[in-house]
A and B are shown apart, each in its own frame.
Chain A
């Protein structure tokens, strides 16, 4: 379970994230919506231990999340929005390296190369690959070790239809295996298709959308539109 207890992150420019008090059960697939600059990426950075909080605490399965919680972080997977990867490394190299770090075998590397369709360009430097290809390698890095908690920040951007379906299937399978996924997206239909919960981030505050759970695909997408445009 992910639990945020009065979690706050302040910036000197004036923006403050939180205080946030939420609980997300293990196995949930959560969609996070919000305008640009609402604080979604900041929240993800704090949850994954890549940034420290100002006050409050984040817990994963009862353990405190912090930049120093190395063991905990190794059980998480995170694809940031700007997932710059080293330009002159090849997909096969970086996946092999990551597999060693996660104590996985060569078969995990080959499996990820196959599912993310990287067989033809696995020996090409990433600087010579398209943005979509780089994104797929970023996804492979984030998911190859079957993390208990997977955070995807606008992961569907730059993915073609085929690999959008691959990612959707992967996320569904994770849900069936009781692994938690939190993703941010600006595409309500994608989230409506795979997520069982939805939250909206606005001005650093989180708001649950309880009606989401009881709706089917299109009503869910419509609900998000209403939430966004309701105040106008």
Chain B
């Protein structure tokens, strides 16, 4: 009998079950996040309106349009990645099919069917994004989504497993090695953060608006923090041997803090140093650039275990909310930067000992 229909249906059911099984927890989290963001928007509505009114309508339209296409690009990549995971991971149905004796042709048809389903989902997201960014779903958007999806699906991700390094054996070196040479998503996000940090001062020459430069620095710090969050989520399941070896919570957190400090300092330095040199804006409008760029990566080790360190999506939401509140507060008043060490200390104390439960 044909394998295609029962296999594709079963795979889709497992994906729905994956979302549904933790639905209560995920829905509660989303609802809480939405409530916090709405509260934030309500409080800062007037401030945001007055700042945004400084931009010309053309700039606003350009910003919305760029965000729309960026959203199309990102959702296509994410969906393609998910489809690849379903098709190629070790626990995929494909490996069972080969063991049971399915022919390569049947397996290829199943892969094609799943790829088509993923493509349809990717395209349908365009409609959703067009509502969010108030754009017409154009031919260009469909083309962009299609090309991104197909290329991402087709490209073989080659893992850098040929790199062999004799690490010194310290807990920091080990983690740095995993982060820089093994973890593809973490590596990608951190590189994006560094690239963004370089882009910020270059774009500052043309933009000449303090608010936008500050927001860009905040965004760069946010992306960098995502990379660290991903790395910690990948690290925790494998740390059982370190726990048995006597690694304490403090040592674990300090090892990640060393790595986070490196990235925070790098991002902050690149963003701030060049901006001061390359713009005509007065320093008092740009004093907070290093803090905005660096504070989120710096805070990651103190926030990672607050809820669930293994859930990178959860911690990404935590970092976004933290960035929204503290970042915009820092744009408004300098006193928030002074409060950062206190916030960090409190967060670290609150999650004390959770390494062993993670």
A100 within 8 A of B: yes
Q: Are B103 and A87 in contact (CB under 8 A)?
A: no
The prevalent SS among residues of A at the interface is: loop
If A71-B101, A97-B7, A101-B102 touch, does A88 touch B14 (CB 8 Å cutoff)? yes
Contacts of B102 in A (CB 8 A): 70, 101
Instruction: Select one of B6, B95, B101, B104 contacting A84, CB under 8 A.
Output: B95
Residue of A at shortest CB range from B93? A86
Q: Taking chain B's interface residues, is the majority helix, strand, or loop, or is none over half, making it mixed?
A: helix
Instruction: Return the contact of A97 from the options B10, B95, B101, B103 (Cβ within 8 A).
Output: B10
The reply on B13 being an interface residue by CB < 8 A is yes
In the assembly, what is the distance between CA of A101 and CA of B98, in Å?
12
Q: Please, which residue of chain B has its CB at the minimum distance from the CB of A80?
A: B99
**B95: chain A residues within 8 A (beta carbon):** 84
Verify A73–B100 contact, CB threshold 8 A: yes
Complex formed: what's the CA distance from A93 to B13 in Å? 10
Give the segment of B15-23, B244-252, B272-280, B309-317 that binds chain A: B15-23
Q: In the complex, what residues of B have CB within 8 A of residue A84's CB?
A: 90-91, 95
B83: shortest Cβ distance to chain A, in Å? 15
Known: A73-B100, A78-B99. A97 touches B18 (CB 8 A): no
Chain B residues with CB under 8 A of A88: 14-15, 17-18, 21
Give the complex CA separation of A82 and B95 in angstroms. Answer: 11
- Chain A residues with Cβ below 8 Å from B7 are 97
Cβ contacts A192-213/B at 8 Å (1 or 0 each): 0000000000000000000000
Q: Which of B1-59 contact A (CB under 8 A)?
A: 1, 3, 6-7, 10-11, 13-15, 17-18, 21
Inter-subunit contact B91/A101 (CB<8 Å)? no
Query: Given A89, A102, A125, which contacts B100 in the complex, CB threshold below 8 Å?
Result: A102
Q: Which residues of A contact B17 (CB under 8 A)?
A: 88-90, 125
- Whether, in the assembled complex, B346 has its beta carbon less than 8 Å from a beta carbon of chain A, the answer is no
Residue contact A68 to B6, C-beta cutoff 8 Å: no
Q: Which residues of B contact A102 (CB under 8 A)?
A: 100
Enumerate 14 A-B pairs (CB-CB under 8 Å) in ascending A order.
A68-B104, A70-B101, A70-B103, A86-B14, A88-B14, A88-B18, A89-B14, A89-B17, A93-B10, A94-B10, A100-B1, A101-B1, A101-B102, A128-B21
Interface residues of B (CB under 8 A from A): 1, 3, 6-7, 10-11, 13-15, 17-18, 21, 90-93, 95-104
Q: A67-B104, A70-B101 are in contact. List 9 more A-B contacts (CB 8 A).
A: A72-B101, A87-B18, A88-B21, A89-B10, A98-B100, A101-B1, A101-B100, A102-B100, A128-B21
